[in-house]
């Protein structure tokens, strides 16, 4: 009794597997811009010279699937571009910070150099022991 029911069940399993396989092929065909169906039609046209199906019916949702796949590809591209832009923004901020540090260092160095020159001038004037000249140069330095 078990042996009699077994072949019928196997047939149903094969039907279900066939339906799943055809649905998978259809899905792949839709998302791959009909590359599978064009390949199959080219192979079948070699076997039979006359066209098998001459129908002009177009499934309207295929255009939606094509546009959806294009949108997904564009979304992935934009996502990668945003990631690159964020990396560049971080690098830009680091470079700006480095420039600020260098500018502050330059300002400090210039200030130290100016102080050094003023002290040198002041010491040179003190060595000449002319107090009036020291006062004149100090007023000139203050004006600057």
| pLDDT one-digit tens code per residue, 29-80 | 777 766 666 776 666 655 555 554 545 555 555 666 677 778 888 899 999 9
On whether the CB atoms of residues 119 and 134 are closer than 8 A, the answer is: no
Q: Where are the alpha helices (DSSP H) in the chain?
A: 2-31, 35-47, 61-128, 131-143
User: The whole model's pTM is what?
Assistant: 0.40
- Render pLDDT for 89-107 as a digit per residue (tens, 0 to 9): 999 999 999 999 999 999 9
Secondary structure letter of residue 3 according to DSSP: H
Separation CA 74–CA 76 (nearest Å): 5
- 20: alpha, beta or left? (left if phi > 0; alpha if psi -120 to 50): alpha
């Amino acid at each position: 009794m078990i042996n009699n029911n077994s072949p019928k069940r196997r047939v149903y399993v094969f039907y279900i597997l066939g339906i799943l396989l055809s649905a998978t092929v259809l899905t792949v065909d839709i998302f791959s811009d009909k590359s599978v169906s064009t390949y199959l039609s080219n192979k079948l046209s070699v076997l039979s010279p006359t066209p098998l199906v001459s129908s002009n019916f177009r499934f309207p949702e295929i255009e939606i699937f094509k546009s959806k796949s294009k949108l997904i590809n564009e979304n992935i591209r934009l996502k990668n571009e945003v990631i690159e832009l964020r990396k560049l923004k971080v690098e830009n901020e680091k470079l700006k910070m480095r420039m600020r540090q260098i500018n502050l260092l330059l300002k400090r160095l210039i200030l130290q150099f100016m102080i050094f020159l003023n002290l040198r001038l002041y010491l040179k004037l003190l060595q000449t022991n002319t107090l009036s000249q020291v006062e004149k140069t100090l007023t000139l330095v203050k004006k600057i």
